[in-house]
Structures are given as C-alpha cells and as structure tokens.
Structure 1
C-alpha cells in the first residue's frame, strides 16, 4: 500500500469527552494514514455551540473534506458512533468505511433506560464536582499518556442531556440500512451494556463484522490502546487495498 492508497480517517469521540480521547490513536496512525479527530457540538473547543445531530454531521463532513482524500473511514465511539450512523444516512458519498465502538446497542425501548437515567441525573450534580470525580477516576485507571489530553480538554456535562435527548429513541439495528460502506463493530469484551445489540447490528448489514478487544470495557481505546489501534489499522488497510 502506498501513501496515495491510504484511506483517510475521522475519529469522533464519546459522551462528554472531546477529540483528546483519540490522542493515542492519532499518534500511532498518522505516519501511515491521513487522520483527524473532531470535537462535536457542545464539546471540547466547540463547548459553546449547541448540540444537534445535524451539526455533528456537518462537523464530520467538514473533517472529511479537510483531509482532501475523498470518502473517509469514520471511527465513532458511543455518542460519536451514533453521530457517525447519522452521518452515514445524510452523507453516504463521504463514507468509505465505518467503525462503531461502544455504539451497538439500541437507544429505543427498555435498553434506553440507563441512558435516560444518566441524562436526568447529571444536571443535578455540580459540574466542578463531576470534573473532579472524572479526573481522579481517569488518572487512577489509566496512564497519563492515555488520558491527559482528555483531562486537559475538560468534559461536556452541560451537553449530555441534549445530546442523549436527541439520540434516545432514534437508533437500533435498523439504522445499519443507512450505511453503504463496510462496517467494523469494535467493542470492549466487558462492555456489556453498549455491545448488547452487536449481533443484531452485524446481521442488519451485509458487510459488517464484530471484533472484541479482550478484557476492555466501554472506553476500549483507553483500556487497550494498542489493541484498539491495531484493529483500526487492519480495517483501514482492508479498505485501502479494496480501492
């Protein structure tokens, strides 16, 4: 594979986080692939922007255009995965491949109950307290090189109710019909909640497969950054060689 063949990649972060979530992946992949990570509306450098899925779609589309290499592989985690599904529906011509990480559980019906509970509880807790809790938790669980970019960027607690308010009731395995490109469903082995529908999501698409990161939880790219990156790299190389 030559540099000209390398598929461009856009990374889309999860709930309350930022583009900093992907610092390890960007560092490991940028020598082989054109890569960029975005901040969704209401997150990171776009903290002041109101959340909307349509706005998230436009941000992803602009990132794809900025790489100047045509359709891209979009890697979306959790909230970012559902935003990537919406992008696939609205901008199919810009999608070369899709990786759904921690985003293969229906947000409809009973499975949506945990999301609703979190969205209701978060606004009742002062943001500075939530920030301290998250900083301590991340530093206790992960090495500095994995989480410091995320900690520096801060957290979008204020956006969480609006973001999940729009996502809830909107997505299930049927959303895979929007995706006109190959799909890798990449989940942490121990992420029981967010991988609950992975088999249904995979069956709903003719070119989808599931891959699990051993021992990893919802933040699989933090729990096992090398394994997560390797899975992304392999899938990107498959897309590149199929051009």
Structure 2
C-alpha cells in the first residue's frame, strides 16, 4: 500500500549526500503531527513524513505491524532506493522497529519515541469502543465537533487529536479508517512474536518521556535482545507525546543522533 507522504528537504543540495529520513506518527495521529522535527531535519536531509494506513490521507485496510512496516518499505522505495533513518512515535515506533527487524538493509538508523517492543501502550488513550457509531449533525464545525466528543472523550488532548480525524462541514464523519483501527486495537497494543535470534544491529535510539509509563526498566532486556546497540535518552518533564511536550529538546536529541559519526 502506498501511503500519503509529506516530503520536505533542503532548499538547495548539500555538499555531501545525506541519508533520507522517514517519520511515522502514533495511533490516531497523522504525518503533520511530526512537523516541527521534520522541518528541523529537512534543512539538511530529504524527509518523508507518512500517514500510516487508516490514518490521515492514506488508504484504509486491515492493520498489523507487519502490514504497516511493509507499507512504509513500499512507499519509501517509491521515492528512493537509499536506506533511510527511520523515526517513529508510539504505534509508529513499533512500526519502525518492525521495519528494522524485517528489512534491516533498509534502515540506516532507528529512532523510537516513547514505546518499547512489548505488549501494552496506548492504554490511556481512553477512546470508547463504540466511537465509530457516533451520529454527526449536519454542518458540523470544529467547535461543535469538540462539544460532540466531550462527553465520550474527557481527555482534552485525545479529544483534539480525534477532532483532527473528522471531516467537518456539510457531510461530517470520520476521515480515517476508524472501523479498521478499532478492530485492530488488540494487535496494535500487542507486540508480535518473532523468531529466536531476531535482531537489528544498527544504531538505535529510544527516547523516553520522563512522565510516561511506556518504557520501563522491565523492557530493557527485550530492547537489548532486539536492538543490541541501543541507547536511551530521557526528556525531563515530558509525557508520552514527547515531541509535542518538549519539541525543541526532542529535535535536539534526534539531530545529535542523526549527525553522530559511526563508531
């Protein structure tokens, strides 16, 4: 499946050809959510922020991490044959890990934001399972959409994220593949079983939000087994949406890792 892509790059070619960078959003997000760090990276690198399947403007279909990783591989190949640095947040981080583990030759470096290769995650999204049956009044605007969702999604950050996934105006409704997402939630919250010895041996950076529960010390052994050369950075005062809570610090950590010379 070819995904919708926001492509950004340097205004003029750099003296040295630098690797492309792929950016993958989290559950119920979209490519533009990573716009701040993409714009920073695009001053020196060709960058591709992708809407994962059932999200943003990408096609809809059954979801699994294997399928989403294949989407990213196929979409990247449509633009370049070069291996890429791949950055993913949350669900996008699990997708990025799966891509690196299944197609290590395609991933030059891996950056995973606030998720571990383990079961769990997203438990605080607090999205009701019957959301896809919501009735939309005609001529719905953004303020009305917020009011419509407030009784069923009290968390304001999550509610605003869901509003961005609506078509507003004369024919309001869900713009995303909500049915497919809800059907796949158990798989999205899981982590697939992998053959013994599976590992990605490239440079890997995990970025944890200090206030987030999604990377714990109990995850370190699995992280080391799958990504033996990983390093971990913690962003103080940030929660799960670490790139939104501390955008400048997040971008700085990413830029330093991207620019780091091979050992």
TM interval, shorter chain, is 0.7 to 0.9
Partner of 1:16: 28
TM-aligned CA distance change 1:101 to 1:156, over 3 Å? farther
Partner of 2:113: 101
Task: Within 5 Å, give how 1:4-153 maps onto structure 2.
Answer: 4-46=16-58, 48-68=60-80, 70-104=82-116, 106-107=118-119, 112=120, 115=123, 122-125=128-131, 126=133, 132-133=149-150, 137-138=156-157
Unmatched segments (≥5 aa) in structure 1: 142-146
TM-aligned CA distance change 1:237 to 1:86, over 3 Å? same
- Of 8-17 and 60-69, deviating more is 60-69
State whether residues 54 and 180 of structure 2, in contact with CA within 8 Å, keep that contact through their aligned partners in structure 1: yes
Supply the distance in 2 between the matched residues of 1:69 and 1:106 (Cα, whole angstroms): 31
TM-score by length of 1: 0.76
- Count residues in correspondence: 227
Supply the distance in 2 between the matched residues of 1:173 and 1:215 (Cα, whole angstroms): 34
Structure with more of its chain in helix, by fraction: 1
Unmatched segments (≥5 aa) in structure 2: 1-13, 137-144, 168-174
Which of 1 and 2 has higher RCO (CA within 8 Å, sep 6+)?
A: 1
Q: Please give the secondary structure, in 2, of the residue aligned with 1:210.
A: strand
Offset, 1:21 = 1.3
Partner of 2:8: none
- Of 46-55 and 95-104, deviating more is 46-55
Q: Choose which of 199, 212, 215 in structure 2 pairs with 1:195.
A: 215
Offset, 1:173 = 10
Larger radius of gyration: 2
CA RMSD of aligned residues (A): 3.7
Q: Structure 1, residues 30-88: CA drift from partner, whole Å, max 9, x if none?
A: 01111111111111112533323333122211343345261111111111111112212
Supply the distance in 2 between the matched residues of 1:4 and 1:152 (Cα, whole angstroms): 42
Partner of 2:257: 235
Supply the distance in 1 between the matched residues of 2:220 and 2:50 (Cα, whole angstroms): 28
Q: Structure 1, residues 81-107: CA drift from partner, whole Å, max 9, x if none?
A: 111122122211101111111211621
Partner of 1:220: 242
